[in-house]
Amino acid sequence: MQGSKKNVKHPSYSVVVSASHLRERRLWRFLTNMLIRLGYDIQFDVIGEVPIVTLLNVHPSREKDLREADELSTDPLVPIESYQDTFGNHACRLLAPAGKLRLQNSTLIEDSGVPDIVCLDASEVPVNQLPPAVMPYLLNSRYCEVDLLSSTAAELFWTAPRGWARVQAVCDWVHSKVTFGYEFSNPVRTALGVYTERVGVCRDFQHLAITFCRALNIPARYATGYLGDIGVRLDPNPMDFSAWFEAYLGDRWWTFDARHNVRRIGRVLLATGRDATDCAITTSFGRARLISFKVISDEVQGALRTA
């Protein structure tokens, strides 16, 4: 059974979580499991000694799927401190010496090959019944000014059907109203900026969607990782890490993507947080200029499906 199976066009495939389909889903997963080669090669020009924090390891929730070690290597060699940050991400911290610094890794992960799951029945949870750990994802954050966009959110989405459909309505609106372009990249643009300028890159789409969800009392958080262009038309742009978001419905977080607004195969999560502030791939506490950036996320053809 070859990798060609991935070419089956199922962008809107909906895996329903009801018990009745559970067996079927297991079967399908068995058929579609795949291996993805992940990697990056990032180079900085560092002025002075600069502490750097990375979120380049796969998220703890995906560690069980790793088939190779997932370890950041640096050139020159520097000590790396690994810890779980307050959002539950796998962070690394190092002190970059002056000069060139290269961050590299290559690892292998097994993936279900199933597109982002759709669960139309997932319902909104009353605020007073949400798990306490979820509560912060209802509030303002740096790039998500819930206070400034709550009236607009109500005007646009209050009459939308509650639950999954409402989050989807938010994604549809953002996807259709905002124009994507790398030339629109602006690291200080907030959700309000996206709403007013109607342009942006992937993080901008998610920030606006997250803000609308929170304003509607639906917890939403930012997610970053390997997008996994598996089974979709090739993107002419160089591979990059991507952003999407998660909304809390029913009893768990679900993946949404206001930028692409399609169900994708092969996303590999690196980090979640309130917004891009918490999920920066690298945060430099000093002057470190990015001079090169490469990301790899490729299906390893035939590796697993033939099993």
* Site of interaction with its own copies (CB under 8 A): 51, 53, 81, 83-86, 91, 93-95, 126-128, 132-133, 135-136, 138-145, 147-149, 151-152, 177, 183, 185-188, 192-193, 195-198, 217, 277-278, 283, 285-286
Cβ nearer to its own copies, comparing 57 with 140: 140
Kindly state the smallest distance separating residue 269's Cβ from its own copies, in Å: 19
Question: 209 is written with which tokens?
Answer: 């969607």
Classify 33 as helix, strand or coil: coil
Nearest Cα to 245, choosing from 161, 155, 147, 174?
Answer: 174
Cβ nearer to its own copies, comparing 25 with 175: 175
Amino acid identity for residue 225 in this structure: G
Kindly state the smallest distance separating residue 184's Cβ from its own copies, in Å: 9
Cβ nearer to its own copies, comparing 183 with 251: 183
Cβ nearer to its own copies, comparing 31 with 139: 139
Distances (CA, A) of 31 to 3, 218, 264: 10, 35, 17
Distances (CA, A) of 279 to 21, 68, 212, 273: 34, 24, 19, 6
Rounded CA separation 273/277 (Å): 8
Cβ–Cβ < 8 Å for 68, 108: yes
Rounded CA separation 198/258 (Å): 13
Question: 119 is written with which tokens?
Answer: 């669960």
Cα dihedral sign, 126-123-269-27: positive
H/E element holding 34? strand 34-47
Kindly state the smallest distance separating residue 107's Cβ from its own copies, in Å: 23
Classify 290 as helix, strand or coil: strand
Cβ nearer to its own copies, comparing 145 with 299: 145
Kindly state the smallest distance separating residue 97's Cβ from its own copies, in Å: 12
Residue ranges of alpha helices (H) inside the chain are: 22-32, 146-157, 164-177, 191-197, 202-215
Cβ nearer to its own copies, comparing 49 with 75: 49
Kindly state the smallest distance separating residue 194's Cβ from its own copies, in Å: 11
Cβ nearer to its own copies, comparing 225 with 273: 273
Reported in sequence order, the residue ranges of 71-203 that DSSP labels E, i.e. its strands, are: 73-75, 81-84, 90-96, 99-111, 179-180, 199-200
Classify 300 as helix, strand or coil: coil
Kindly state the smallest distance separating residue 84's Cβ from its own copies, in Å: 7
Cβ nearer to its own copies, comparing 8 with 155: 155
Kindly state the smallest distance separating residue 48's Cβ from its own copies, in Å: 12
Kindly state the smallest distance separating residue 295's Cβ from its own copies, in Å: 20
Rounded CA separation 26/24 (Å): 5
